Amino acid sequence: MIPLFDVPSCLNSWVLPPRSNTFVLILLLGLLGVPSSPRACAEPVDFQRDVGPLLERRCLSCHNDRDRRGGLSLRSAAAALAGGDSGEVMIPGDPQSSYLLELVVPSGETAEMPKGEPPLKPDEVAILRKWIAGGATWPSDLYLTPPTAWSLANLERPPVPPLNEATSEFALRNPIDRFVAVGHRVAKIQPAPPADRRTLIRRLYLDLLGLPPSPAAVTAFVESNESQAYEHLVDSLLASPHFGERWGRHWLDLARYADSEGYLGDSMRPHAWVFRQWVIDAINRDLPFDAFSIQQLAGDLLDEPTLDQRIATGFHRNTLRNTEAGVDLELYRTKEIIDRVNTTGMVWLGLTLGCAECHDHKHDPIKQQDFYQLYAFFNNADEVGVNATMPWEIAEHDRAMQRWQPAWDILVHDLTSFQIAGLTPDQKSEIAEVLNAKTPPASPLKDLEKYFRTQDEGWSDLQTSIEVHLKQRPVAPATKARAFAERRRERRKTFVHIRGVYTRHGAKVSPGTPAALPPLVARGPLADRLDLARWLFEENNPLTARVAANRIWQHLLGEGLVATPNDFGVKGAQPTHPELLDWLATEYRRLGWSRKALIRLIVTSSTYRLSSSLTAVPGQESLSNQTLWRQNSSRVTAETVRDIHLAASGLLDRTIGRRGIRPPLPAFVTEVGRSVKWPVSQGGDRYRRGMYIIFKRTVPYPMLMAFDAPDSTVSCSRRERSNTPVQALTLLNDPEFYECARVLGQEMLRQHPHDVPTAIEATFLRCLARSPSDQERQYLIAAYDDLLALSAAGQNRSDEAVHSPTAAMTAVVRIIMNLDEFITRD
């Protein structure tokens, strides 16, 4: 019998079996762990070339001098030969007795090691087997190094591939396309053709505004002969005030925005909307991303900060807060700071800093001390409220006062007829002061009765009228924004929390940044949040620009160039196009951190304009899209699902910003606890966009949660995209969606009476930006006729809507609105 570790060296003595037995040989070699590469068979194993990189890549993140999982380190020859808690792991010259191979050889699709990861490939196992069989040679002075995240390498601008390297089947409109085309050429795949104009305009509207295009906009774009029609469309959408809503919602996911405190008490934050308004306005005016970030992390520390800059610091006041009686206030204060550190790391650095709260990070070069040095930046940031009454609030109050004042003037005039004679100017002034107070007492005349003839007829009725009318007086707005202010006196000291326990103090630390990243240069003797915020955007920081550019790409292409936007560390995904990512990151800087400019660059590329159809290129249906050979197709976000229903029906109220709204909810939802009060918004407010729905953390709006809205307890860098029966049932049965279908059905019949085919055509344009196919048209006309006949059978019922063309057209519209295409961005 040939020993397994000798198989590769003996292959040259084997006789090739007949063709019919080739499969048996291949299967046998695979089972034996024989390497498939000729070099592995022909050449001896070299430790520095073959074994060392393999151990560093697959083993050293857990088995190093610092962590020693199972008591084992594989960093040096001496450590490896010493073994671990289970004894020796390898015996030079004897692979069959080496425990290391027993751990890494897969059984089925899994192996005991590496734990929680894909098993080693057969040729990797063969390398280890042959190395041990050859005596496990390892230079004594050679120490292996745990893998370092690619993202920590210096960020340098790569050259754009020349045209001769980027030959492609699609137009090379800008540098993005050249990088992508190189990937196509290397992978020997063909890109999909461009999407048609109807698909493109709907894609742009959904990506940039989160709203569907109107039929008029679709027709104008499709029929335009202008060479720059697409670019002009992009510019008009970037200039729309609804752009700030769509991209503001992306940022609110990162900011874990909510309208309540969280935990069991979950009391409301009535003025949380002020931060949301700031985000929308800042994005609409294209506040550069560096300034946008610095103001949110340290706006209060800028020289003579403006109200806007102080409101911006509400970013880190979106943390959960426990307001229950009897809680350990210091414990929950530390929880809030820990959340701020984790969120800062994820949003701007793309690092999982939270893994270093209790111990050194197991994979990335983040020490526990690094974590608490970042903690120190936030440990002396006290939470305050700042007056942030908006001009529109004052205007609303003034209009309400104008409606209230005339009746009040009449009552005051009537009151003067009851005044006793001989009142002094001071007494008259006292009366006026009480009656005109911003917050008058419930019974204002009680203390003033001595000045009036209270026994006269009519006094009691007048007094009641005055009290009732005063209760109806509009309350003057007094909006308080949640903000930060740096503690200047009695500053808190910061210590490492041993094992993450806040009462167990370790070494004292000062504000600082991770040692694995470029050093922070403080403005003064002690670094503060403003130093930290500016450090994020230093030229030598390799992470911030990469993370930010990747996130924008993710929102426009469906998936980031790095598929783990919150983890650019060792265990995160590798970039599919590293040169493109670095070029985009440096281009973002070159554009002055203009979000709109980078978005425009991406959406005007040919890569963005590709068809998303899986069958666009015959023979490539089963290929993944890592090479970007097509666009990605995905269901729209939860808020957009609601918005496109309202927009298509004509019910959407497009008011931007302001306070949150409360659409109708079933009673069983609002009756879950005493803290859940849900006064339904009236008028157009109830039809405003989904991002304005009051988000109560313990009772979030059910429709949003059904479509994977984040729970706002922690920062969310990428929403889940599930496909569940609950979603289909929600679309079919939610009263608000039914109302949208009914209103649209009525409108179509009003515009096209007695012309069902044209009504169906118009509905398709409203909902899908296209015309129905002949088959779709025939099916829907037949459905309308059947539904109309069915409803006629119920004419003995009193509800006219049940047995009318409106009912039939409503059902047809519901069919269209329940198409997967309606809630899909292609």
Question: Could you tell me how far CA 563 lies from the centroid of its own chain?
Answer: 13
Q: Are residues 676 and 761 in the same domain?
A: no
Alpha helix segments (H runs only) across 83-174? 99-104, 122-133
> Within a domain: residue 172?
no
Q: Are residues 102 and 58 in the same domain?
A: yes
> Within a domain: residue 757?
yes
Rg of the chain over CA atoms, in angstroms? 34
Q: Is 739 helix (H, G, I), strand (E, B) or coil?
A: helix
H/E stretch holding 482: strand 480-486
Q: Which pLDDT belongs to residue 42?
A: 53
| DSSP designation for 87 | B
Q: Are residues 765 and 740 in the same domain?
A: yes
How many Å apart are CA 289 and CA 370, to the nearest integer?
Answer: 25
Q: Which pLDDT belongs to residue 29?
A: 37
Q: Is 824 helix (H, G, I), strand (E, B) or coil?
A: strand
Domain span holding position 809: 733-825
Q: Are residues 774 and 676 in the same domain?
A: no
Global pTM?
0.86
Per-residue pLDDT reduced to its tens digit, 592-628: 999 999 999 999 999 999 999 999 999 998 899 999 9
Write the CB contacts of 159 (distance below 8 Å, at least 6 apart in sequence): none
Q: Are residues 707 and 751 in the same domain?
A: no
Q: Are residues 672 and 759 in the same domain?
A: no
Q: Are residues 718 and 800 in the same domain?
A: no
Q: What phi, psi does 25 have (nearest 5°)?
A: -65, -45
Looking from the CA of 357 toward its CB, the CA atoms found within 13 Å total: 17
Q: Are residues 707 and 740 in the same domain?
A: no
Q: Are residues 651 and 748 in the same domain?
A: no
> Within a domain: residue 795?
yes
Report, as ranges of residue numbers, the positions in the chain whose pLDDT lies below 70: 1-42, 166-168, 672-675, 793-803
Q: Which pLDDT belongs to residue 675?
A: 63
Q: Are residues 717 and 745 in the same domain?
A: no
Between the CA atoms of 219, 220, 226 and 230, what dihedral angle is there, to the nearest 10 degrees? -80
| Residues present in the chain in total | 826
Q: Is 757 helix (H, G, I), strand (E, B) or coil?
A: helix
Contact present, 275 and 315 (Cβ < 8 Å): yes
Number of domains composing the chain: 4
> Within a domain: residue 689?
yes
Last residue of a domain, one of 116, 147, 178: 147
Could you tell me the CA-to-CA distances from 466 to 17, 90, 411, 431, 469 in Å, in that order? 107, 94, 7, 13, 5
- Assess whether the previous peptide bond of 114 is cis (omega < 30° from 0): yes
Last residue of a domain, one of 693, 722, 751: 722
Q: Which pLDDT belongs to residue 789?
A: 87
> Within a domain: residue 589?
no
> Any idea which residue has 């022909």 for tokens?
42
Residue 599 structure tokens: 């978005």
Residue 211 structure tokens: 């709203």
Q: Which pLDDT belongs to residue 322?
A: 94
Q: Are residues 47 and 131 in the same domain?
A: yes
Residue 250 structure tokens: 């992306």
Last residue of a domain, one of 147, 172, 207: 147
> Within a domain: residue 609?
no
How many Å apart are CA 686 and CA 693, to the nearest integer?
Answer: 9
How many Å apart are CA 97 and CA 698, to the nearest integer?
Answer: 57
* Residue 306: CB atoms within 10 Å: 11
> Within a domain: residue 360?
no
Write the CB contacts of 149 (distance below 8 Å, at least 6 apart in sequence): 364, 365, 568, 569, 570, 572
> Within a domain: residue 300?
no
620-625 contacts at long range (C-beta below 8 A, 24 or more positions apart) = 620/189, 620/190, 623/189, 625/559
Contact present, 751 and 657 (Cβ < 8 Å): no
* Residue 304: CB atoms within 10 Å: 5
Q: Is 384 helix (H, G, I), strand (E, B) or coil?
A: strand
Q: Are residues 716 and 767 in the same domain?
A: no
